[in-house]
């Protein structure tokens, strides 16, 4: 089965569970996200998808990204500065963030960092966000 067919089947299944439907635009947005590792903004996704679908608008791309987030198919990184970024990964993982060029890349952590923190007794921690700030290989 071709890669795009696999993506379509997966999207259709997941979207239908949440009452959404499969559209060519959603497929294109998801397909693009699954090929890049830099966590693009809605605008960057728009510029890339527009090459294949010249009539698509930024607002449509944005809506499709949000629908995919709602269905749990992608995740949204909104805790950095500036525009929200979108991530094909939905599992718990972390990021490095280059302070010069803004590039965000995945980083995995083996241990549960919560175990090493002195969390206030009256606070119930359910997770954490972690962004390692610094300079990427191009910027150092």
**Residue 24 to residue 70: CA distance in whole angstroms:** 18
Partner from Zn ion, Mn ion, none binding residue 87, C-beta < 5-8 Å depending on class = Mn ion
Q: Smallest Cα–Cα separation from 112: which of 139, 137, 132, 130?
A: 130
Which residue in the set 74, 87, 98, 103 belongs to the binding site for Mn ion (CB under 5 A)?
Answer: 87
Which residue in the set 4, 101, 119, 130 belongs to the binding site for Zn ion (CB under 5 A)?
Answer: 101
As measured in angstroms, the least distance from the Cβ of 96 to Zn ion is: 10
Which residue in the set 13, 16, 43, 106 belongs to the binding site for Mn ion (CB under 5 A)?
Answer: 106
4, 14, 88, 26 alpha-carbon torsion, rounded to 10°: 60
As measured in angstroms, the least distance from the Cβ of 99 to Zn ion is: 8
Helix (H) or strand (E) holding 11: helix 3-17
Q: Give the torsion sign (CA, 120, 80, 138, 75).
A: positive
Query: Binding segment for Mn ion among 20-28, 48-56, 81-89, 115-123 (CB under 5 A)?
Result: 81-89
Which residues contact Zn ion (rule: CB under 5 A)? 98, 100-101, 103, 136, 139
């Amino acid at each position: 089965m071709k890669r795009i067919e696999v993506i379509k089947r997966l999207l259709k299944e997941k979207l239908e569970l949440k009452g959404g439907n499969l559209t060519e635009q959603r497929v294109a947005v998801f397909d693009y996200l699954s090929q890049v590792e830099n966590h693009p903004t809605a605008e960057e996704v728009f510029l890339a998808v527009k090459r294949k679908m010249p009539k698509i608008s930024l607002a449509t791309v944005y809506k499709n990204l949000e629908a995919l987030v709602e269905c749990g198919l992608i995740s949204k990184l909104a805790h950095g500065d500036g525009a929200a970024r979108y991530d094909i990964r939905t599992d718990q993982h972390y990021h490095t963030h280059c302070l010069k060029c803004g590039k965000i890349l995945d980083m995995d952590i083996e241990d549960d960092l919560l175990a090493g923190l002195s969390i206030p007794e009256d606070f119930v921690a359910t997770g954490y966000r972690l962004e390692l700030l610094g300079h990427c290989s191009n910027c150092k």
